[in-house]
Structure 1
């Protein structure tokens, strides 16, 4: 060719062509941003009976099976052993203290059974199979106060304790039904 085009002295950067154009950031006011954050985290009020629970189940469904499958890996055996003793020792300790505090109405065996039932239920329904559950100091204080109250009034401790648990279950079910955690 008779005409030659000289190359440029400096080559412009190709980065702008490689990156997609940035979308303009929408200006959200504080209330809209807060609402968007709540919806993404699952804490937005649905207005449907048990809507929050249903949304939680939908959000956790993709990981539910893998949580249990991952817990069966050989690397988790040390965690199993640790959690067994981490859950067992306070249950037995506080069970013995509960025996003294409640006139032997609740003792180590009852604490073991409740720890097993609650631990299995929580593990299956929360989707987190490796969670520490058990009796603690505040539970011991509460049970001592309830037992002393029942003795003073002349009521049967275990019957009263049953109704405490029943009412707590009813209240919590009601709070779940109306998405109270979203308020």
Structure 2
């Protein structure tokens, strides 16, 4: 006998509106049988299928048995072809699990039916019907058309009812139901309560994820304006003097300091000269090499003193050199000053709100896209110069 096991997820009544609609629609015409006295699988399923046959003329009992049970050369085995049950893990080693043997959903598809049909039976006492059904109390049968929408198949409908019966509290309430109407109303109210619980759980999960993401980005503790700036200040103030004095202590520190100065001098000077020439040409002399070197030197000194550490290197970048142009007839220095003031405003805004913490989310792709932009921009500028 070949058997295939597959794990399927439970229905989310909070986000899947179809689940609640199916419960409301199918329960109104479902066959509900309470406290069956039969004790064998043949008698129990014959009773349920007979009641469905009486209520629904779209199929016969023989047709349902032929697809509900496993067959071989026309002989039926007392084994259900397709079933759904809940499981629980019994250990972490080997992935072992155990069945919830108090209920079972049997599903099948028929070509002769046009609509879905559901039957639910509650046995009068727990009954042993074989493997994985040794303590059975509830039996659900779902019959669906062979050709149905993806949300109305036999498996999807079975998932809807299986999600309800997988809840121990709901099963206990169904055991206590005295009448068919009370049984039906219990299932309807349980579906609505489950939708509310799942929505609340999703909201709590979202809130927890948001709190964790906020703590990961901005750190623990209460947030307030300039929190990151003040934390940086108090964290670095005790090392401020050593940042300068450590470069003068030791036998070989002067040699290392001098070599670093020479290296950084040319590393900063050569790009300043190159971009200064480009700015001189684009701005008609408003910004030349001398001004670029002077501005870069003053900015570097200011940042070295007030930036928290002396190793802050300022360079004129390619995008700035490309976009700085004297065009459209505006006063260049006035427009350039406005751009600087707006940059200063955004920098203060970012520093006061800890927006710089978002840089933790930046990956190497941002650097690669920036490099690609520089390459394309200079290629376009060179092609434009050749065309002219």
Change (3 A) 1:83 1:160: same
> Aligned match of 1:180 in 338, 344, 355?
355
Partner of 1:67: 243
Partner of 1:155: 330
Change (3 A) 1:46 1:87: farther
Equivalent residues, number:
146
> Aligned match of 1:58 in 234, 258, 261?
234
1:137 has 2:318 as partner: yes
Question: In structure 2, how many angstroms separate the alpha carbons of the residues matched to 1:31 and 1:157?
Answer: 45
Partner of 2:299: 118
Question: In structure 2, how many angstroms separate the alpha carbons of the residues matched to 1:46 and 1:111?
Answer: 42
Structure with the largest fraction of helix? 1
> Aligned match of 1:169 in 344, 361, 373?
344
> Aligned match of 2:262 in 77, 81, 85?
81
Partner of 2:88: none
Question: In structure 2, how many angstroms separate the alpha carbons of the residues matched to 1:45 and 1:104?
Answer: 51
After TM superposition, the score normalised by the length of structure 1 is 0.69
1:94 has 2:94 as partner: no
Partner of 1:11: none
For the Cα contact (< 8 Å) 1:94–1:135, is it kept in 2? yes
Deviations 1:85-125 (A, max 9, x none): 11111111211111001110000111011111111111112
Question: Greater RCO between the two (CA within 8 Å, min separation 6)?
Answer: 1
Q: Name stretches of at least 5 consecutive residues in structure 2 with no aligned partner.
A: 1-207, 359-388
Q: Name stretches of at least 5 consecutive residues in structure 1 with no aligned partner.
A: 1-28
Higher radius of gyration, 1 or 2: 2
| 1:68 Cα deviation from its structure 2 partner | 1.3
For the Cα contact (< 8 Å) 2:233–2:308, is it kept in 1? no
Change (3 A) 1:44 1:135: farther
For the Cα contact (< 8 Å) 1:91–1:134, is it kept in 2? yes
Partner of 1:49: 225
